[in-house]
Amino acid sequence: MSKTDYLLEIKNLEKSFEGGTKVLKDFSFSVQTGEVVVILGPSGCGKSTLLRCINGLEPIQAGTILLDGQSITDGKTKWSQIRQKIGMVFQSYDLFPHMTVFENILLGPLKVQGRTREEAGIAGEKLLERVGLLEKKDAYPRQLSGGQKQRVAIVRALMMEPEIMLFDEVTAALDPEMVREVLDVILELARGGMTMLIVTHEMQFARAIADRILFLDEGQIVESAAPEDFFGHPETERAQRFLNIFQFEK
């Protein structure tokens, strides 16, 4: 096992869907510990698929993914083991509707990690408190607003004490006034030094939170730059066109 500076390394990843559509082509990039990388790009560029490949929800055709310098794609380690180190939050929150908020966030720690109810319970209450939802502990998901559900989903992923968090358009399904409360939680995680890969369409947020912007198009990295460079003077014509979509002039 070779120790590297990178927490996550992706080497020559190839991904295509059934029927042969290539989604990711010879894709390589690395994330350092504590780094926040925001992935931008037009829809269908492969950004969500990339996140899904990283925690094994999509099979890949070629290439390697390393976490902590160890390959997670060689089939030697079970995905259920690896996924404990990788927290993922989805666009559609996907809380388990038949469980209360507290049961939702304790399921992983108790059943997957075999932690005790007391210890995980204390951790759970702390995290709920941090996202301002402690009083919703015994509520069912359908009694929560979209923003609250998404915050619970983030807590549920954090409960596993992951080394890296993947956010897949977590605010895309939310009403505008609820976007802020979710983004604030993610910003706070960034301040706490969490390593994160974020797919989003919130440009202001991307600019504020990112250490690095990765701009994807047609399954390839078109640009990789610091946020002020990317938003200030994008190098490629493709990125300029993309950013223009978010500009309004009368």
Partner 1 sequence: MQDLGIRVLLEGNNMIRLLDGLWVTVRISLLAVVISIVMGILLGMVMTLKNPVTKALTRIYLEFIRIMPQLVLLFLIYFGAAKAFNIHISGELSAVIVFTLWGTAEMGDLVRGALISIPKHQYDSSAALGLTGIQIYRYIIIPQTLRRLIPLAINLVTRMIKTTSLIVLIGVVEVLKVGQQIIEASRYTAPSAALWIYGTVFFLYFIVCFPISKLSGKLEKRWQN
Give me the phi and psi of 82, to 5 degrees please: -65, -40
Would you say 5 and 32 are in contact if contact means Cβ atoms under 8 Å apart?
Answer: yes
Work out whether 43 is an interface residue with partner 1 (CB under 8 A).
Answer: no
Distances (CA, A) of 144 to 130, 184, 208: 17, 18, 28
Q: Is 96 in the site for partner 1 (CB under 8 A)?
A: yes
User: By CB under 8 A, is residue 243 in contact with partner 1?
Assistant: no
- Which residues ranging from 111 to 140 are in contact with partner 1 (CB under 8 A)? 111-113, 140
Q: How far is the CB of 5 from partner 1 (least distance, A)?
A: 26
C-alpha torsion 128→144→197→226, nearest 10 = -100
Q: Is 156 in the site for partner 1 (CB under 8 A)?
A: yes
Angle at 226 between CA 33 and CA 55, to 5 degrees: 40
The verdict on 145 binding partner 1 (CB under 8 A) reads no
Asked if 50 and 27 touch (Cβ cutoff 8 Å), the reply is: yes
**Closest CB to partner 1 among 117 and 241?**
117
Q: Which is nearer to partner 1, 163 or 218 (CB)?
A: 163
Nearer Cβ to partner 1 (88/179): 88
Let me know: does 172 contact 182? Beta carbons within 8 Å.
no
CB of 117 to partner 1, least distance (A): 15
Local structure of 169: helix, strand or coil: coil
Q: Which of 14, 68, 94, 229 binds partner 1 (CB under 8 A)?
A: 94
Of 56 and 146, the one with the shorter C-beta distance to partner 1 is 56
Cα separations in angstroms, 222 against 8, 38, 53: 20, 14, 19
Q: Does 236 sit near partner 1 (CB under 8 A)?
A: no
77 is a contact residue toward partner 1 (CB under 8 A): no
Query: Does 92 participate in binding partner 1 (rule CB under 8 A)?
Result: yes
Per-residue CA distances from 73 to 38, 63, 97, 98, 151 (Å): 23, 8, 32, 33, 30
CB 136 within 8 A of CB 144: yes
With respect to partner 1, which residue has the nearer C-beta, 3 or 111? 111
Q: Please choose, out of 2-10, 88-96, 187-195, 231-239, the segment that lies near partner 1 by the rule CB under 8 A.
A: 88-96
Task: Pick the stretch among 155-163, 171-179, 187-195, 237-245 that binds partner 1 (CB under 8 A).
Answer: 155-163
Q: Which residue has the tokens 């109810």?
A: 117
The least distance separating partner 1 from the CB of residue 120, rounded to whole angstroms, comes to: 13
Count CA within 13 A, CB hemisphere, residue 74. 8
- Kindly list the residues in this chain that would bind partner 1 in the complex (CB under 8 A): 55-57, 78-81, 83-84, 86-88, 90, 92, 94-98, 107-108, 111-113, 140, 142, 153, 156-157, 160
